[in-house]
Structure 1
Amino acid sequence: MRSPKFICRSVVAGVLALLVTAGAAAPSSADPDSASTSPVMRVSGAGGGYLGPDWPGMEGDPVRFEIDGRATDPLHPSGSFHVVHRKPDGRLLAEFSGHLTSLVSVDEVAVVTGVIDAAEHPDVPLQFVGKPVAFTVYDGGAQDRIGWAWGFFGAPVSKLQGTAPTFALTDGGFRVEGGPRPRVAQGNGPKVAVQAEGDGTTVAAVLGGPSRSSRGSMRFELAAHVPAGGDPTQVQGRFQFRDHGASAADFEGRLSCLVAGGPVAITTGVVTKSNDPAQIGKQVSFSLKDGKVDRLGWLWSWSAAQPPIADCMSTVPFYAPRWGGLVVQS
C-alpha cells in the first residue's frame, strides 16, 4: 500500500526545528484561547476500508490500521501501530508494525509518527523494517478518517508532521484525546466568505487573535483551490501572515500544494514577499481544521539545519483564533 503520488514524489526543503519541537508544546504556549492542556494525549482504535481510485492498481484493496499510543511529551510517546493491506482475494500484499516516535493531538485531530519494527510483504521488493511512517487521525464520531505517508515508498517523514486524513473509514474507528480547551467562544470580528469555485477542493481563512509567542496579535489570510481531478500540486492560491508583536513578522506567498480530508486541510507554500529578505523563497506549511472550534497550525523553514517540510505535510492544527474563521470544502 502506498500513499498518494504527490507525497511519494515530493521532497521539499526546510522546517523550523524549534517549532516542531515546540509544536508539541504549541497548543499550550501559542494558543491564546487555551484554558488548560490535557497532560496526556492519546490515540487509540482500529479501523479500515477499501482503497479508492486515488490508488491506481490498488482500487478495491482492503486496508486496516491499528494505533494505540499516549504521550505527555509529544517527542517521547509510548505505543505501537499495525497496518494490514490485502488484495480483494485475501492475498497479503503487506503487513507491518512498529513503535511510535511522536504523538501530538488537539481536539479531534492527531499526528502520529513511528518506525517499522517487523514486516511481511511477499510481493513488494522494498525495505520496510527501520523505515518511518506518519499517520494523521481525525476522530469524526460517525465518520473517522486517516491519512498516511510511508517512508518505504520514499515519502519524507519528519516527527510531528502528517498529511490530511483523506481516507474515510468504513469499519471501526479511532478515539483522539488531549490538547487545549478553548476559553472563549469564537466568531467575533470578520467572517470568512468563500466564493463558489465549482467542484474540487477550496480552503479559505481570515482569522487572528493574540499571539503569546510575540506578546502581540496575529492575522492570517489564505485562499486556495484545486479543481476536481486536479493534482494537489496544481493548487492556485496565496497566503499572508502578519504578527504585530515583538517578532513583527510580515510575509506572504504562493501555495504549492493543497490536500483535504473531511474538515482538515494541509497546504504548503513559498514566501514571495517579506519584511525580512532572508525569508523570501523559504518553504512554509499550514494545517487547518474547520470545526466547532476552528484551528490553524503552521511550520516555518527559516533555517536549512531544520527538518524538511514536504509537499502537503504539516503539524496538527493548534491555534484557536479569537476572531474570524476558516472553511474547508472538498
Structure 2
Amino acid sequence: MAHADDKATGIGDVLQNVVAWPIRILFKLIDYPVTAIQNVIGIRRMPWLFLLPNLAFFGMFVIIPLFMNFAYSLTGGTELFISERPYTGGEQYGFLFDCDNYADPISCREDRFWKGIFNTAVFIFFQVSFMVLFSLITALVLNREIRGRGFWRAVFFFPVLLSPVVVALIWKWILLRDGILNAFLISIGLDRILFFVSPEWAMFWAVFVSIWAHMGFYTLILLAGLQAIQPDLYEAAEMDGTRKERVFFRITLPLLWPNMLVVIVLALIKGVQVFDEVYVLTGGGPGTATQFIVQYIYNTAFTNQVQNFGLASAASMVLGVVLFILTLTQLAATRRRDND
C-alpha cells in the first residue's frame, strides 16, 4: 500500500514539474529584460515602468480626447477634421449662455441646452433624494438579523450587475402600451396608461428605473458604514433606555454621515451623467420631457441633421467642469471619512 502511495506521489511530482517547466521558462524570459531595465533606470523608478501601460491608455483615451474636445469647442463649421474648421474663440460658449432669463429655457438662444439642464436638475433632485432615502432604509433593514439576509442582499445588489441598456429594455417591455403592467391594469378592470406619452409619467419612470438599477451599489456603501459602528454604543444606549428613534438620530446617523456624504456625491455624479438607460427607455421623449444634458450633447454632435461638433464640445466642457467640481467634493468627502 505504501509502495502505491509513493508511486502516485512520484507521478504527481512529474506532472507538476511538466506543468511548471514552461512557467519557469516564461518567468526567466521576462526576468532578463526587467533586470536589465532596472539596472539602467534604478529600482526606485521601476514602479513607473509598470504604470506606463495604464498611463499610456489613460492618455490616449482620456487626456488627448479632452484636449481635442476643448479645441473643437473653439471652432465652428460642420467639417469633421479640426484642421478644416474655422477658429471662432468663445463664440460657442457665448451662444450657449446667451439668455434673457436663465430660469426660463425658452428665453435662451440654445433653448434645448437649457431644457436639458432643467430636466437634468429635476431628475437629480428626485433621483438622488429618493435614492439616498431608499438606500438608507434598505441598508438598515439588511443590517438586522433577518432570515435569508444574504439572499436579500444579493437580490438588492443584482440590478447593479446588469447593463443599463438591459435594464431599460426590461422596463420598457413592462411599461409599453401592451406591456405587462398595462395587461395587469386591464385585468383588474382599469384603463391602460400610456406611460411614454405623458411627460410626468415619463419622468417618473426615468427616475424610478434609475433608482431600481443603482440603489444596490449605494446600499452596499451604507451597509458597510453601519457594520463599522461599534455594537457597544447600541448596548450602552439600550441600557440607558434610549428610544430607538433617538438612537438613530444621535448615534447611527452621525456616525454614518461620512458614508452618506460619499453616497450623495456619487449619486450626483451619476445623475448628471445619466444617458443610456433613459435614452433606451424614453428616447428623450415625449418631446424633450426626458432629454437630459448628455443626450443633448449626443444629439447635437451626431443625430441632428446638421452636426454641430463645436457646440456639442462646448456643452460637454461645461458638463466636464461640473463633474470635476463634484469629483473634488467626493474626494474631499472620502478623505474626511478616512481621517474620521
TM-score range, shorter chain: under 0.3
Larger radius of gyration: 2
TM-score, structure 1 as length reference = 0.20
Structure number with the higher helix fraction is 2
Structure number with the higher strand fraction is 1
TM-score, structure 2 as length reference = 0.20
